[in-house]
Structure 1
């Protein structure tokens, strides 16, 4: 995993805004409608080329394809794996259950979107069918981002746990058995990304967000046991992939809401430290979690782990001032104790699901530009290059 001895590197969490035409095609394909495949291919080519160029222009060091080729960060899985059918009945999160007007706002704001709470469920033994789609994704990205475009490249894939909680179990005898099956089968995609030479990012909001969703009725101690089970499934699926070739993303849910019931970082941090990943990417710009560096101060930060803190919030159209970004980066460096093991990032993705983008596309690129500018300010201060004037 790339580090730098003279400046703070920048990356993001994965998903970036899709254009309207591509969004429509992805949603229609997910719904089972007939679409023009040649048009979809053309739109994917155009979209990936565009987000690559925009990341490059914004100064992103570690970039990707913006998840342009997927309808959602985890809900695309039934397109690649058999065993899924019907419809899941995902619980309403506590944020929304206690604030029903948020649901009304959500439905008005995103009238046409990919499946979120009604994704298919596992109704048979899940099996990864073939690697053609992930290979096509990687191939398109490589064509659009030739060598030298980014200092390093990454690709995302969902954790077994977030697939299990979104594409719910209606077949296996237990949640643990379903997790094991998903870990076994998702490994094919994980390995394909690794074998292509990309840094693999595992998206695991289940390690935090699911406290207020699927597992909202568990006790605190039982949720932590579930969290540990999910982390174990990730490590099992990634066995054999060197830790410096994958990073783990953890978040509390990429939505604009109260987040009052979020599990504290301090509660799950000992479990997160069991990861075999080389880096943890965690929200810290989220107003509900900006104080969570205190948990790291209390627990200490492992010597062999990179921190990728979110210093740009991903559900607001505010563009963070570069000085604010710099302060957040410097705070992260202080708790890690090593400026070379901090990579500046965003809290979450900006295009988590097709048709559900909280931040306007043009604002996203301004936010990423501010990320780079803030990282440059922080670098000057951390490496003692700032002018006395």
Structure 2
């Protein structure tokens, strides 16, 4: 159903919501059974740890066709070809660009994530629970800015909208985990073909 949602195909929203709710309960139970005492929702409602925001925010549209190139994959290209990934893993997630003012389209998706995790942890013994959320940096790195005059303005606009998700998660009593691989991958990804001085 997530694939159908991502590809703009028809799907049953009620069935999708119910399946996500049960999947969150299942993944929380699996974490508890494995001895994990601080559990997460496993991001069951999301197609990706970062690109999910395009389904929640306005101003992100179209398709960013600029390939994401990583230095190690360039240096060790034979490794890429040796990976026997399933066809579904080979398809890159849809990466829009920021081509309009950012705002909320579907704030209820955040509330659904919170409600699903609250329900899932009611019947298990855990120390705490967290919900992952995309960092501003990874959103900006994946969904390039074509609207705001500067990258700084884009990041501030992202902060203005994403703070609602961050605050909702913490206000619900959950730990907020910011998914921020961008914090350690600037040289490796965005500046892979530039001199160190530019980085």
Q: 2:188 aligns with which of 198, 212, 223?
A: 212
Judge conservation of contact 2:31–2:39 (CA < 8 Å) in 1: yes
* 1:94 and 2:65 matched: no
- The CA deviation at 1:198 is 0.5
Judge conservation of contact 1:128–1:186 (CA < 8 Å) in 2: no
Specify which structure has the bigger relative contact order, considering alpha-carbon pairs within 8 angstroms and separated by 6 or more residues: 2
Judge conservation of contact 2:51–2:93 (CA < 8 Å) in 1: no
Q: Secondary structure at the match of 1:213?
A: helix
Larger Rg: 1
Q: Which residue of 2 aligns with 1:62?
A: 38
Judge conservation of contact 2:135–2:178 (CA < 8 Å) in 1: yes
Q: Which residue of 2 aligns with 1:297?
A: none
Distance 1:208 1:154, change over 3 A: same
* 1:28 and 2:4 matched: yes
Distance 1:61 1:162, change over 3 A: same
Aligned residues: CA RMSD: 2.1
The 1-side partners of 2:152 and 2:138 are apart by 13
Question: What is the CA deviation profile of residues 160-217 of structure 1, one whole-angstrom value per residue up to 9, with x for unaligned ones?
Answer: 0100000111112222211111111111100110111101111111111232112224
Q: Secondary structure at the match of 2:139?
A: helix
TM-score (norm 1): 0.48
Distance 1:209 1:171, change over 3 A: same
Q: Which residue of 2 aligns with 1:121?
A: 97
* 1:44 and 2:53 matched: no
Q: Which residue of 2 aligns with 1:161?
A: 137
Distance 1:114 1:184, change over 3 A: farther
Q: Which residue of 1 aligns with 2:148?
A: 172
Question: What is the CA deviation profile of residues 264-311 of structure 1, one whole-angstrom value per residue up to 9, with x for unaligned ones?
Answer: xxxxxxxxxxxxxxxxxxxxxxxxxxxxxxxxxxxxxxxxxxxxxxxx
- The CA deviation at 1:45 is 2.4
Structure 1: tracts of 5 or more residues without a match: 1-24, 224-389
Mapping of residues 333-348 of structure 1, within 5 Å: none
The 1-side partners of 2:165 and 2:117 are apart by 16
Mapping of residues 129-168 of structure 1, within 5 Å: 129-146=105-122, 149-168=125-144
Distance 1:100 1:80, change over 3 A: same
Question: What is the CA deviation profile of residues 289-334 of structure 1, one whole-angstrom value per residue up to 9, with x for unaligned ones?
Answer: xxxxxxxxxxxxxxxxxxxxxxxxxxxxxxxxxxxxxxxxxxxxxx
The 2-side partners of 1:99 and 1:114 are apart by 18
Structure 2: tracts of 5 or more residues without a match: none
Q: 1:181 aligns with which of 152, 157, 175?
A: 157
Residue correspondences, number: 198
Distance 1:105 1:32, change over 3 A: farther
Distance 1:117 1:140, change over 3 A: closer
- The CA deviation at 1:97 is 2.0
Distance 1:204 1:222, change over 3 A: farther
- The CA deviation at 1:219 is 4.3
Question: What is the CA deviation profile of residues 69-126 of structure 1, one whole-angstrom value per residue up to 9, with x for unaligned ones?
Answer: 11110010011000111112243111222333344345x5131249646511111111
Relative to its length, the structure with more helix (as a share) is 2
Mapping of residues 344-359 of structure 1, within 5 Å: none
